[in-house]
């Protein structure tokens, strides 16, 4: 059967948040390998050419999940990343030979990439979390809502922070009214309704905004609400035993590369 190698290329931003990003030999999902240097993210996949559109959609989803997961790990440690698709490349009728992806930005000559920079470790942690969330739609939505909550500076930040809590609740089931099972969530996470009250009240107020409410100071600060939403994620990850820690040895995907300022970043064997 004919096999093609696909490279799906994305641009990360903002630029100032990407200067120290660098990883190679990272698996985001079964069959999807990734390399990243600064603002360039490439996701590789080998398969039937007829599945191009399906694979392209999956790669785009994985890229978004990566920056959403990064928002969780970079909380209080860095900025919020954005991602946009740029190009894709298909190499048809591949046999077992290496394909090299390179990064040639001139900043590599003046500002080499330290292999274990904290910002790179955060992104690798985000990649590990992305793999862990593949089979959990509620938690995919939870990190996506946390990403938006961090990005929003107005009252809707509270709404999305509250949505994180609701998403986590859906991980434990839904009630007959199609609402998150907060009782099961609190029992599993050893929390209670009172703990989450600031999120609930702020989220409800943000969802039903009025001129009077906008003029009224919020009872809980944005930072406190984000911290509560972040804690909800941390508690559910710990409860489920998800793999969210730093890793030193990359997965063996047939991808080779370097953390130095060399232009050669990865070689993928289809």
Q: What is the pTM of this model?
A: 0.85
Bond prior to 248 in cis (omega within 30° of 0)? no
pLDDT 10s digits, 1-52 = 668 889 999 999 999 999 899 888 799 999 999 999 999 999 999 888 888 8
* pLDDT at res. 186: 96
Are 265 and 24 spatial neighbours (Cβ–Cβ below 8 Å)?
A: yes
* pLDDT at res. 242: 82
Strands 99-102 and 264-268, bridge-based pairing: antiparallel
* pLDDT at res. 211: 54
Question: Which residues of the chain fall short of a pLDDT of 70?
Answer: 1-2, 95-101, 209-219, 243-270
Dihedral, 111, 112, 115, 117 alpha carbons, nearest 10: -10
C-beta atoms surrounding 269 within 10 Å: 16
* pLDDT at res. 71: 96
Which residues contact residue 109 at a Cβ distance below 8 angstroms, ignoring those fewer than 6 apart? 261
> Domains of the chain: which residue ranges?
4-115+248-268, 137-240
């Amino acid at each position: 059967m004919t096999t093609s190698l696909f490279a799906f290329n994305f641009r990360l931003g903002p630029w100032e948040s990407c200067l120290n990003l660098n990883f190679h030999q990272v698996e985001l999902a079964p069959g999807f390998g990734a390399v990243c240097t600064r603002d360039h993210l490439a996701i590789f996949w080998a398969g039937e050419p007829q599945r191009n559109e399906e694979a392209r959609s999956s790669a785009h989803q994985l890229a978004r999940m990566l920056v959403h997961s990064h928002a969780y790990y970079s909380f209080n440690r860095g900025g919020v990343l954005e991602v946009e698709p740029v190009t894709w490349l298909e190499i048809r009728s591949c046999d077992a030979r290496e394909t090299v992806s390179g990064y040639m930005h001139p900043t590599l000559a003046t500002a080499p990439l330290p292999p274990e920079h904290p910002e790179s470790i955060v992104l690798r942690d985000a990649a590990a979390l992305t793999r862990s969330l593949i089979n959990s739609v509620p938690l995919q939505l939870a990190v996506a809502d946390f990403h938006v909550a961090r990005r929003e500076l107005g009252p809707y930040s509270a709404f999305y922070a509250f949505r994180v809590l609701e998403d986590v609740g859906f991980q434990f089931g839904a009630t007959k009214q199609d609402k998150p099972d907060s009782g099961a969530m609190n029992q599993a996470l050893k929390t209670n309704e009172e703990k989450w009250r600031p999120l609930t009240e702020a989220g409800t107020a943000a969802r039903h905004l009025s001129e009077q409410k906008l003029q009224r100071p919020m009872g809980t600060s944005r930072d406190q609400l984000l911290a509560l939403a972040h804690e909800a994620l941390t508690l559910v990850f710990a409860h489920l035993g998800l793999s969210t820690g730093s890793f030193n040895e990359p997965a063996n995907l047939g991808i080779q590369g370097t953390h130095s300022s060399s232009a050669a970043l990865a070689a993928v064997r289809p």
